[in-house]
Chain A
Amino acid sequence: MTELTNLTVAQIRDGHRAGDFSAVEVAEAFNANVAGAKALNAFIVETPEHAIAAAKQADADRAAGTLKPLSGVPIGMKDLFATNGVQTTAASHMLEGFVPRYESTVSQKLWDAGCGMLGKLNLDQFAMGSSNETSYFGNVISPWKRKDGGNAALAPGGSSGGSSSAIAARLCPAATGTDTGGSIRQPAAFTGISGIKPTYGRCSRWGIVAFASSLDQAGPMARDVRDCAIMLENMAGFDPKDATSLDMAVPNWEAALSSDLKGKTVGIPKEYRLEGIDPEIDAMWDAGIAMLKDAGAAVVEISLPHTKYALPTYYIIAPAEASSNLARYDGVRYGLRDLPEGAGLQDMYAATRADGFGPEVKRRIMIGTYVLSAGFYDAYYTQAQKVRTLIARDFEAAFGSCDVILAPTAPSAAFGLGEKMADPLAMYLNDVFAVPASLAGLPAMSVPAALNREGLPLGLQIIGKAFDEQGVLNAGLAIEERAGFTARAEKWW
């Protein structure tokens, strides 16, 4: 029998259903991997007992003939999802020790589907970051190493870096992620796994610690496209508690998976050809175009003229929303309270927030506060929302002539920890290809496509029309089948 921790979600589900192994065996195997991977620092809290309890239930359900869609599948939960009775921190000092008495809608759906929880996954603090270096609980380390004889620790991407690292290192077969401006897709690309951000509103935001409400969207990360489809089916769905939730039926994405792209047209946005970009990125992109042609798709060049303004637009809107969303962390009702001797209420706020937020979070709150402040609101925020309209219109126009868009996920492979921390702008540029789809609320996924000359994974991104996750998944599957990406990080931890 193959090692249980090498199985995909679909293989675990089907194998458990067929009686090839027990769910408890699966949970124990993953629990052992988690316990043995402290060096990756992928988890903030480990919850082996949760995984075991769910596995026992899955085995009992199998005996009783009442199996659920994901019975026997243990997963990792990004520590941005509130979990009832389990510490939920958003990787911040602010929420260290915070134990919610409620469960996020998405995590509840997964438990209801039979999943067990291996633990709460590390992330960039309040999901703000692209390298997982802003967590209060320490950097997450990618399991990947460059093939240069050196031993540099690499970034797993961010903000869902705990999720990406854990999946790539076989600590869990799948995990939840959230994507505000690339936080699912970029870490997936950096670690050679798949991840999809669905259409804005597909997954309920209720119970997910908010970063930027108009952009935040949960989605799955897993080893392949099929697993993403399975997971997304069990995470998505209408939630009356979220006013922005889509009141639409959840399609059976897995059943409709097809890599036959005959009759489909793939758009290649010319503005994504960045000057001075690593030629290996462009080469991978060209290879991806060839793969989709091979799958039967027609290929056309498209134009998304406002692409260059997407990042600056994002870096106004996201911090503005964050500055307001994070105002609730004030030391009054939960979380950290820093009350200097003799301090009044307002001093307590200032001390608590100075101590409870890390530098990147503070930087974004400051930017957001500034762009919303009197006299600057129209010049920054209103202007950004107008440009955002133009960016969304670009996509709308482009989808007049194509069904999906193919582009790189990130402008480079994983970089070394510390390499970009000194320069916030250089860090922000990581999301240059990911942010436009976020601003337009469109479904987008990253699939591993190649290794670069250093032996590090590169990802291709497929962006789809609103609500057309199926089109995205199918194109992703066509690439997955042709790229034949089987590389995995050699175990060193």
Chain B
Amino acid sequence: MAIDQATVRKIASLARIAISDADAAAMEGELNGILGWVEQLGEVDVTGVEPMTAVIPNKLRLRDDVIDADPLTGGNRRDDILANAPAAQHGFFGVPKVIE
């Protein structure tokens, strides 16, 4: 099904990507081209076929409940967490004020 510019803008809003009217117009054509092409999948008979869950047979492993066992996946590294922050203050990340 073809999408219109209003849909393009709605998707852009869901994806949090600001989009100009010109870009929305250009993207309308591109997205319709791609979506029209992938829609050929609809012709495949998938009766009784399960969606792929694991591409290679493998079991989900569970981790032991241990704090900071590996520094790469543990806490207590605030400096590293905040090192690249655009606005870090008093140990927090700063964002424009949110009104809930």
Direct contact of A and B (CB under 8 A): yes
A residues near B (Cβ < 8 Å) are 97-102, 199-201, 206, 214-215, 240-241, 243-244, 246-247, 306, 309, 312-313, 315-316, 323, 327, 330-337, 339, 343-351, 353-354, 357, 362-363, 365-367, 369-371, 373, 379-380, 382-390, 392, 424-425, 439-441, 466
Q: Pick from B8, B51, B98 the residue with the most CB of A within 10 Å.
A: B51
Q: Which of A97, A312, A466 contacts B40 (CB 8 A)?
A: A312
- Cβ–Cβ contact A247 & B61, under 8 A: yes
Q: Which of B11, B55, B60, B80 contacts A214 (CB 8 A)?
A: B55
With a cutoff of 8 Å between Cβ atoms, the chain B residues found around residue A100 in the complex are 84
The A-contacting residues of B in range 56-93, CB under 8 angstroms, are 56-58, 60-61, 63, 70, 72-73, 77, 79-81, 83-87, 93
With a cutoff of 8 Å between Cβ atoms, the chain A residues found around residue B50 in the complex are 386, 389
Closest 3 CB pairs of A and B: A385-B51, A441-B55, A334-B84
Interface assignment of B3: CB less than 8 Å from any CB of chain A: yes
With a cutoff of 8 Å between Cβ atoms, the chain A residues found around residue B41 in the complex are 309, 312-313, 316, 380, 383-384, 387
- Cβ–Cβ contact B49 & A362, under 8 A: no
Nearest residue, chain A, Cβ from B43:
A309
- Cβ–Cβ contact B87 & A337, under 8 A: yes
- Cβ–Cβ contact A425 & B84, under 8 A: no
- The answer for the CA separation of A236 and B37 in the assembled complex, in Å, is 36
Question: What's the nearest-Cβ distance from chain B to residue A336, in Å?
Answer: 8
- The answer for the CA separation of A200 and B56 in the assembled complex, in Å, is 7
B residues near A (Cβ < 8 Å) are 3, 7-8, 11-19, 27, 30-31, 33-35, 37-42, 44, 46, 49-52, 54-58, 60-61, 63, 70, 72-73, 77, 79-81, 83-87, 93, 95-98
- Cβ–Cβ contact A102 & B16, under 8 A: no
- Cβ–Cβ contact A370 & B11, under 8 A: yes
Q: Which of A244, A339, A350, A362 contacts B58 (CB 8 A)?
A: A244
Interface contacts (Cβ under 8 Å), in number, total 171
- The answer for the CA separation of A206 and B83 in the assembled complex, in Å, is 20
Q: Which of A331, A335, A369, A386 contacts B11 (CB 8 A)?
A: A369
Nearest residue, chain A, Cβ from B3:
A370
With a cutoff of 8 Å between Cβ atoms, the chain A residues found around residue B77 in the complex are 101
- Cβ–Cβ contact B16 & A367, under 8 A: no
Nearest residue, chain B, Cβ from A306:
B44
- Cβ–Cβ contact A386 & B51, under 8 A: yes
Q: What DSSP secondary structure best describes chain B's contact surface? A: loop
- Cβ–Cβ contact A309 & B55, under 8 A: no
With a cutoff of 8 Å between Cβ atoms, the chain B residues found around residue A206 in the complex are 72
Q: Which of A331, A357, A385 contacts B86 (CB 8 A)?
A: A331
Q: Which of B11, B37, B60 contacts A366 (CB 8 A)?
A: B11
Q: Which of B33, B44, B83, B97 contacts A425 (CB 8 A)?
A: B33
Q: Which of B3, B27, B56, B93 contacts A466 (CB 8 A)?
A: B56
- Cβ–Cβ contact A383 & B15, under 8 A: no
- Cβ–Cβ contact A316 & B38, under 8 A: yes
With a cutoff of 8 Å between Cβ atoms, the chain B residues found around residue A370 in the complex are 3, 7, 11, 31, 35
- Cβ–Cβ contact A344 & B84, under 8 A: no
- Cβ–Cβ contact A392 & B15, under 8 A: no
- Cβ–Cβ contact A353 & B34, under 8 A: no
- The answer for the CA separation of A362 and B38 in the assembled complex, in Å, is 18
Question: What's the nearest-Cβ distance from chain A to residue B17, in Å?
Answer: 5
Nearest residue, chain A, Cβ from B47:
A386
- The answer for the CA separation of A382 and B53 in the assembled complex, in Å, is 11
Q: Which of B37, B40, B52, B58 contacts A388 (CB 8 A)?
A: B52
Q: Which of A243, A345, A389 contacts B98 (CB 8 A)?
A: A345
- Cβ–Cβ contact A243 & B60, under 8 A: yes
- Cβ–Cβ contact B52 & A389, under 8 A: yes
Nearest residue, chain A, Cβ from B48:
A386
Nearest residue, chain B, Cβ from A352:
B16
Query: Other than the known A333-B85, A347-B18, what 12 A-B pairs have Cβ atoms closer than 8 Å?
Result: A101-B77, A200-B56, A241-B72, A309-B40, A334-B84, A336-B86, A363-B31, A363-B34, A367-B31, A371-B38, A385-B52, A386-B44
Q: Which of A97, A344, A353 contacts B18 (CB 8 A)?
A: A353
Given that A363-B30, A367-B35 are contacting pairs, would A373 and B11 also be in contact in the complex, using a CB cutoff of 8 Å? yes
- The answer for the CA separation of A345 and B38 in the assembled complex, in Å, is 34
- Cβ–Cβ contact A332 & B70, under 8 A: no
With a cutoff of 8 Å between Cβ atoms, the chain A residues found around residue B40 in the complex are 309, 312
- Cβ–Cβ contact B19 & A354, under 8 A: yes
- Cβ–Cβ contact A349 & B33, under 8 A: no
With a cutoff of 8 Å between Cβ atoms, the chain B residues found around residue A244 in the complex are 54, 58
Q: Pick from A244, A331, A370 the residue with the most CB of B within 10 Å.
A: A370
Given that A337-B86, A362-B17, A383-B46 are contacting pairs, would A344 and B55 also be in contact in the complex, using a CB cutoff of 8 Å? no
- Cβ–Cβ contact A350 & B17, under 8 A: yes
